[in-house]
Structure 1
Amino acid sequence: MTEARQRLGKKGEDAACAYLERKGYVICRRNYRCRYGEIDIIAAKGGELSFVEVKTRRNLNFGLPRLAVTYAKQQKIRSAALFYLQQENRHQQMLSFDVIEILVEGNVARLHHLPHCF
C-alpha cells in the first residue's frame, strides 16, 4: 500500500472515530489485529459492541466504498471479532457489524454509516 493511501485510510479512520464518538459510542480499540484478520474500529454503545470496517475513497472509479467489503472480507471480520470476544471474555455481548464509507472529494468528505449491515 502506498504512503498516500495509508494516509487517506488513517484520515478516514480518524473521521469515523470522531463521528462515532459524537454519536455516543466509546472507542474500545482501533486497528485490532489477530491471526484471523483486522478490525478497523471496535466501539461500544448502549450495551452493544460494534465491529466497524472503514472504507475511504477519493472517487467512485471503483464503485461505492462499501462494495469493497466483500463476503470474504466480512468472514474475516467475523472471525477476528469472535477471537476478540474470546480474548476479552465478552461472550454474552450484543453485536453489530457496521461499515462506514467515506468519500473524499476535494476538501469535502461525506461519511455514511451502515449499522448492522452484515
Structure 2
Amino acid sequence: MNKRDLGTFYEDIAAGYIKNKGGKVIKRNFRTRQGEIDIIARDGEYLCFVEVKYRKKDDYGNPLDCVGYTKQRTICKVSRVYINMNGADFDVPIRYDVIAVNDYGNGTLNVNWLKNAFEYVL
C-alpha cells in the first residue's frame, strides 16, 4: 500500500469511529491553497475540524504529539476558508480535534479521539 492509500485507510477508520460515536462526517480531505483538513464533522453542537494521525509503532512517538504549531496554524487557516465558503453559522461552536490511530501490526488498532486538541491559531 502506498502512502496515500495508507492515509486513506486510516482516515476511513477515523471517519467510522466518528460515526460510531454519534458524529456525522460532513467532508473529507477538504483542500485549499493553504492546505488540507482530513475530516470535517459534526459532533453534537460542534463543527469539528479533525486531523488524523497514525503510527505503526510507538517508537516514533504518539500520533497526538505530531500536530505541531505549523500544522495547527494550517488547519485553522483552512477551516476559516471552509467556514467562509459554506456560510457556516457563527453561532455554531468550532472545535479542533485530533484522532490518533495506533496500528500494532497484529490486527490491533487503538483509536483515540482527542477533542479540543488545540485552540484557534492565527
TM range (shorter): over 0.9
RMSD of aligned Cα (Å): 1.1
Name 2:115's counterpart in structure 1.
115
Structure 1 segments, 4+ long, off by >2 Å, are: 3-8
User: 1:32-51 alignment to 2 at 5 Å?
Assistant: 32-51=30-49
- Residues 68-118 of structure 1 deviation map (CA, whole Å, 9 limit, x = unaligned): 211100000000001100000114121110000001011111101100010
Name 1:94's counterpart in structure 2.
93
Name 1:104's counterpart in structure 2.
103
Question: Where in structure 1 are there 5+ consecutive unaligned residues?
Answer: none
- Residues 19-65 of structure 1 deviation map (CA, whole Å, 9 limit, x = unaligned): 10011111100000011110000001222100000001101222111
* Alignment equivalent of 2:72, drawn from 74, 95, 103: 74
CA distance in 2, matches of 1:26, 1:53: 15
CA distance in 2, matches of 1:30, 1:58: 22
Name 1:17's counterpart in structure 2.
15
**What percentage of aligned pairs have identical amino acids?**
35
Aligned residues, how many?
Answer: 116
Amino acid aligned to 2:117: C
Give the TM-score of the pair, scaled to structure 2.
Answer: 0.90
Question: Where in structure 2 are there 5+ consecutive unaligned residues?
Answer: none
